[in-house]
Chain A
C-alpha cells in the first residue's frame, strides 16, 4: 500500500467517525464546521 493511499484511508476514517463522536460529546457544531470545509474544498 502506498503512503498516499494509507494517509487518505486514515483521513477518511477520521472524517467518517467524526459525526457519531461529535454527537456523543455533545458538540454537533463540529459536524457543521467540517461539512462546510469539505464543501469549500470541493469548490475551491
Chain B
C-alpha cells in the first residue's frame, strides 16, 4: 500500500521502505524494553520516529532521480540495517523480541482473533484510503 502511494502515484522507485518499517518496529520494541507498554504512546512514537527518519532520508534522496534515487534509498536502508544489527542490547543480528505486548484500553491484542480483526480492519481502511 505504501509502495502504491510512492510508486503508483509518485512515480518514485524507493528501496527505503524497510528502513521506515524497521524504525517504527524498533521504536515500539525499545519502548516495551524499558517498560512503556501503552499502545497509544508506542503508536505515536513509532509514527513520529518513522516520519523523522523519512524526512531526513527524503530531504537528501529527493534531490536525485532514477537509478540514483533507488541507490540512495537502498544505501540509507542498509545504514539503518547495520545500525540495528550492531546494537547488542536490543538483540543485535538475532533481531529484537518484544518484552511485552502493547496494551490498548479498548482492545485486547493478546487475543489472536481480536488481533486478526484489528489487522483486517486497518488493512481494509488503508486500502480504501490509498485507492
Identify the A interface with B (CB < 8 A): 12, 15-16, 18-19, 23, 28, 31-32, 34-35, 38-39, 41-44
Interface residues in B, total, Cβ within 8 A: 16
Taking chain B's interface residues, is the majority helix, strand, or loop, or is none over half, making it mixed? helix
B117 at the interface (CB under 8 A from A): yes
B113 at the interface (CB under 8 A from A): yes
Taking A12-B124, A28-B112, A32-B112 as contacts, is the C-beta distance between A43 and B17 under 8 angstroms? yes
B3 touches A44 (CB 8 A): yes
B120 touches A16 (CB 8 A): yes
**In chain B, residues 65-121, which have Cβ atoms closer than 8 Å to a Cβ of chain A?**
112-113, 115-117, 119-120
